[in-house]
Amino acid sequence: QVQLVESGGGLVKPGGSLRLSCEPSGFIFSDYYMSWIRQAPGKGLEWVSYISDSSTYTNYADFVKGRFTISRDNARNSLYLQMNSLRAEDTAVYYCARIGPNNAYYFDYWGQGTLVTVSS
Amino acid sequence: DIQMTQSPSSLSASEGDRVTITCRASQSISDYLNWYQQKPGKAPNLLIYAASRLQSGVPSRFSGSGSATDFTLTITGLQPEDFATYYCQQSYSTPLTFGGGTKVEIK
């Protein structure tokens, strides 16, 4: 069955960097667009970024543009989110999610999430 | 950016009730509307995509309708496991945006 497992979260100081990873299984990773979505404590869902199946296309929410970079390695079956210049407001659970078939931009499978805390 | 507004933000209902949640888009999004269920401490789970298509494995008591700017999620015969928070999401254009959520609580 489809599984997505995130890792790399933790406590980081404002201005610091962190790299999140997501390891998929149960499907052909290279066939799907992938995305990161976050949820601040007690708040709703915010889309962060997506990447196309072959990494040709990426897209970012304005609030992370220029600070976060999404990437993937299809040979290693891994998705990444490099987060730089972190701010307190980036504190959230970050979910890796698969984008539905035919790039329909809904999220049909989600990981369990990894918590990023930005605090001094 | 397309704003998604859900109502109500919370509701109380009893087991067996019919529950309707509304989602309104700030501009027409055709049928590019999706619904998710999230339980505390868990990741969201896709229920409905393309406004009315039931995701595989989701019980048939969940249904979606609507087009353009107004959409509804209906749960017919609320079950104990349905007490959760529900989110709509538009997939018409980036940035992809979610509604603020509707928490369904036990009356």
Q: What is the pLDDT of residues B29-44, one digit of tens each?
A: 999 999 999 999 999 9
Average pLDDT over residues B88-101: 98
The answer for residues whose C-beta is within 8 angstroms of residue A102's C-beta and 6 or more apart is none
B52 CB within 8 Å of a chain A CB: no
- Name the average pLDDT for chain A: 97
Query: Distance between CA A108 and CA A34 in Å, rounded?
Result: 10
> What does the pLDDT read at residue A62?
98
Average pLDDT over residues A37-57: 98
- Model confidence at B88: pLDDT above 90: yes
- Model confidence at B17: pLDDT above 90: yes
Interval A62-111: pLDDT, tens: 999 999 999 999 999 999 999 999 999 999 999 999 999 988 899 999 99
Q: Nearest-CA residue of chain A relative to B36? A: A107
Identify all chain A residues contacting B50, using CB atoms and an 8 Å cutoff. Answer: 104, 106
CB-CB under 8 Å, B91 with A104: yes
B87 CB within 8 Å of a chain A CB: yes
B64 CB within 8 Å of a chain A CB: no
Q: Nearest-CA residue of chain A relative to B96? A: A47
Q: Which of A5, A45, A63, A70 to mutate to test the interface with B (most CBs of B within 10 A)?
A: A45
Does residue B8 have a cis peptide bond before it, meaning omega lies within 30 degrees of 0? yes
> What does the pLDDT read at residue A104?
87
- Name the average pLDDT for chain B: 97
Percent with pLDDT over 90 in chain B: 98
> What does the pLDDT read at residue A102?
84
What is the DSSP annotation of A54-97? TSS-EEE-TTTTTTEEEEEETTTTEEEEEE-S--GGG-EEEEEE
> What does the pLDDT read at residue B107?
87
Q: Nearest-CA residue of chain B relative to A94? A: B43
